[in-house]
Amino acid sequence: MSGAGEAPQRSGRPRAGADPLGPLDKWLDGLSPTAVHITEVGRRLLLERGYEAVTIEGVALEANVDRETVRRLFASKAGLVHAIWDRLQIEQWDGLVERTRAYPPGDRLDAYLRGLGTLLADPRIAIATAEVASHGLRDAAIRPRLAADYDIVRASTVEVAGLAELAGRDEPRVRLLVSMIVAVIDGLGLQIAADSDAVDIDGLFALFADMVQLLLAAEGGAKGGV
């Protein structure tokens, strides 16, 4: 889910010959200045020319570095795409999670959902998501990374949006609810990317937050309170 401002740079770098299917907190626990530069060039290529333009050779040429440097830092195209995806979306989403935690528990769900609308107001996020998802789902090296990201988003939504107590009572129902939230967000992101001027982003996400709150209230009433 870059958004409203540049993502903070991380320290360190992926290990040499990194396995892009390894744990995300180890694979992308930090990027060196050279790696950050390469991912920024890769991000530009992804947004301007599409997924097919993001190759080891193409990014190395555009970044004015040796292609062996790119291979040493990212191991493969899959590793490079993972790093680009991380800086395009996940770091911005991490920032939203941290901001949401600062709200009182009763206000977090509304703040979280409205904050997602603010992130998606940048159509580049949805464009990049569509590019990576449409190609990555056919790539055996990248598809597990997409699945892992969805796992992270679902788990954090339960925690940060204040659904943890309901999850303790009826975890399967909460998993369905959170999957629905993520699906709606993805769909709205595509609409915003297609024509952001035709979409009332604030209104959409305010309405969506109200709908989720009503659904939670109905669930809580059916089970004697949440």
- Pick 24-222's CATH classification: 1.10.357.10, 3.40.50.720, 3.90.105.10, 3.40.50.2000: 1.10.357.10
pLDDT 10s digits, 30-58: 678 898 899 999 999 998 998 889 999 99
Rounded distance between C-alpha atoms, residue 58 and residue 108, angstroms: 43
Task: Extract the residue ranges of the chain whose pLDDT is less than 50.
Answer: 1-18, 21, 25, 225-226
pLDDT 10s digits, 101-128: 899 988 998 999 998 888 888 877 778 8
Rounded distance between C-alpha atoms, residue 118 and residue 4, angstroms: 8
